[in-house]
Amino acid sequence: MQRPELVCPAGTPAAMRTAVEAGADAVYCGFQNATNARNFPGLNFTPDELERSIAHAHEHGTKVLLAINTFPPAGKVDLWREAIDLGARLGVDAYIVADIGVADYIARNHPDIRLHLSVQAAASSPEAINWYCREFGVKRVVLPRILTVSEIKQIASEIPCEIETFIFGNHGLMVEGRCSLTNYITGQSTNYDGVCSPAADVEYRRDDDGNLSTRLGDFTIDCFSCNETAGYPTICKGRYLTPARNEGYYAFEEPISLNLSSLLPDLMAAGVNALKIEGRQRSRAYVRNVVSSFRKAVDAIMAGQEPPLADLIALTEGQKQTEGAFKSKTWR
Amino acid sequence: MEPVTPTQPDMQTGDIRAPRLLPPLPLFLLQPILRRIVTRIAAQNPDMFNRLGPHRSANFIIDVKGLPFALHLRPDPDDLLFRAVPRHRKPVADAEIRGGFLDLLGLVDGESDGDALFFSRDLVITGNTEAVVCLRNALDDVDGSIAAEVADMFGPPGRAMLSAMRRASARRKN
């Protein structure tokens, strides 16, 4: 069994240092603009911050992967090209991309830098992945979170590149890179602008009884009673009233996090080369706890020991966790 | 000026509980201490303000459960403000953040995750969500601990008090 790379999130320079010190083999991050899918206020890196952060990561033997994983709208492609060229000058170890134009630009202009295919590209079949490898020299694919471990194993046997799978964080079951729910309500696009449920459009209202309503724009997404745990204010995890049901209904998915702690040995045996932790928008405390927990688990498995399964439930969305489609297509 | 009472955190809830036998403390005695704290933190972490973007002039109310007063923060490096305000006369603010003492301490100590506290409903946010997200990201990009920087200002007693509160927080989590 080969040792998988532990790929960890970094939304700020402090979070990146935390991830490096907690045992990340690689960290992924983005610039403070629409070129990445976590274009949140106050998050991400300036060029100077990224330059210093890369130097620190490399001193510790940690790779830095730059997420350029949104889709440039017509007429705005220069922003993406500038981010790519800047990343090359700063010494990133790989780009994570979703758009074929972006992939083509990197393949032609920076052929010596590794190209990873983002989950935002939603490539889930060997045929699709092979096409990206053939056309752009993609070295790694980040698989959508809709495949079972046995399906991943099958794909691994049919593609020439490495496989990266999510192991913790957002459950992410939408066809990624295609979701337009935020766009429908706010006019901002997850795919073009890198914003899912922009904070400027989110409002929390708490009534005198302690019930909490979450609103995005003019729409109420959920209402949590005082004893209920809450989730992110995303439309896909909203609970809605419909005439056909007596109470609120999760129309798409529930507030719940992916946690594949117990499936790690199976994933590694299936040929997964890199294990990804989601959460660039989360705190240093989250990064420290989750990264160090999975560092210990992976090291234990590589040493032939039973992996310690840390209790990460307090960090999960809605304080609920699932192995999702990785374990069974009928998880819900 | 409204009087306040010396306080200590409840180990079960993280809220402040006020001993009944101690005399009340006038708010005006707190103001120079709070001003000194925010000035020192700003001087030690000047880059922090960049993450606030247009919200550096926003007014935040930080409402620590159980305290007889609230805190008013304006994280504008050119016009810093951190003061105690009477709970029943809170100024109009852009956003309000409400939580237990130990939970809020964990956030400025780099030991707690704001999203997790929101999920568990231990942290309540109202008002301008984007301003709160920017503030959270600004505070979280500080290396080390803001709580430790504050404790250091008060020497060995400050550090001893922070250690005691960290132990209390750890016991509560376990």
What is the location of CATH 3.20.20.70 in chain A? Answer: 5-173+256-327
Residue A86 has pLDDT above 90, yes or no: yes
Domain B3-173 sits in which CATH superfamily? Answer: SCP2 sterol-binding domain (3.30.1050.10)
Alpha-carbon gap: A88 to the closest alpha carbon of chain B (Å):
25
**Interface ipTM above 0.85:** yes
Picking from A223, A283, A320 by the largest number of B CB atoms within 10 A of its own CB, the best residue to mutate is A283
For the CA atoms of A6, A11, A14, A15, the dihedral, rounded to the nearest 10 degrees, stands at -30
Angle at A141 between CA A140 and CA A142, to 5 degrees: 125
Residues of A whose CB is below 8 A from B106: 285
Judged against a pLDDT cut of 60, whether residue A33 lies above it is answered with yes
C-alpha to C-alpha distance for A159 and A140, rounded to whole angstroms: 10
- For residue B14, pLDDT beyond 90: no
**Per-residue pLDDT tens over the stretch B49-67:** 999 999 999 999 999 998 9
| Chain A residues closer than 8 Å to B129 by CB | 199-200, 202-204
Mean pLDDT of A52-69: 98
> Which of the two residues, A175 and B113, has the higher pLDDT score?
B113
User: What whole-number percentage of chain A has pLDDT above 90?
Assistant: 90
B8: phi then psi, degrees, rounded to nearest 5: -150, 150
**Closest of B72, B1, B80 to residue B42, by C-alpha:** B80
As a dihedral over the C-alpha atoms of residue A298, residue A302, residue A303, residue A306, rounded to 10 degrees, the angle is 50
Please judge whether B137 and A11 are an interchain contact, meaning their C-beta atoms are less than 8 angstroms apart.
Answer: yes
The amino acid sitting at A11 is G
The fourth-level CATH superfamily of domain A5-173+256-327 is Aldolase class I (3.20.20.70)
Tell me the pLDDT tens digit for each residue of A154-169. 999 999 999 999 999 9
Q: What sign does the CA torsion over B154, B155, B158, B163 have?
A: positive
Residue pLDDT, tens place only, A288-307 = 999 999 999 999 999 999 99
Segment A140-166 shows an average pLDDT of 97
Q: How far is B89 from B98, CA to CA, in rounded Å?
A: 16
CA distance A252 to A325: 15
Domain range summary for chain B, segments of one domain joined by +: 3-173
Looking up tokens 């060995």 gives B156
Give me the pLDDT at residue B10, please: 63
Angle at A50 between CA A22 and CA B148, to 5 degrees: 50
Q: Which of B65, B107, B108, B121 to mutate to test the interface with A (most CBs of A within 10 A)?
A: B121
Confidence of residue A332 (pLDDT cuts 50, 70, 90): low
Nearest to A326 by CA among A230, A280, A257, A238: A257
pLDDT score, position B5: 46
d(CA A201, CA A214): 11
Instruction: Show Cβ contacts of residue B33 under 8 Å, excluding neighbours closer than 6 positions.
Output: none
Q: What is the DSSP letter of A180?
A: -
All residues of chain B having their beta carbon less than 8 Å from the beta carbon of residue A41 are 53, 55, 130, 133-134, 137
Interchain CB distance below 8 Å, B113 and A12: no
Is the model more confident about A113 or about B174? A113
Across the interface, do B129 and A255 touch by the CB < 8 Å criterion?
A: no
Cα dihedral A33, A34, A40, A42, rounded to 10, equals 10
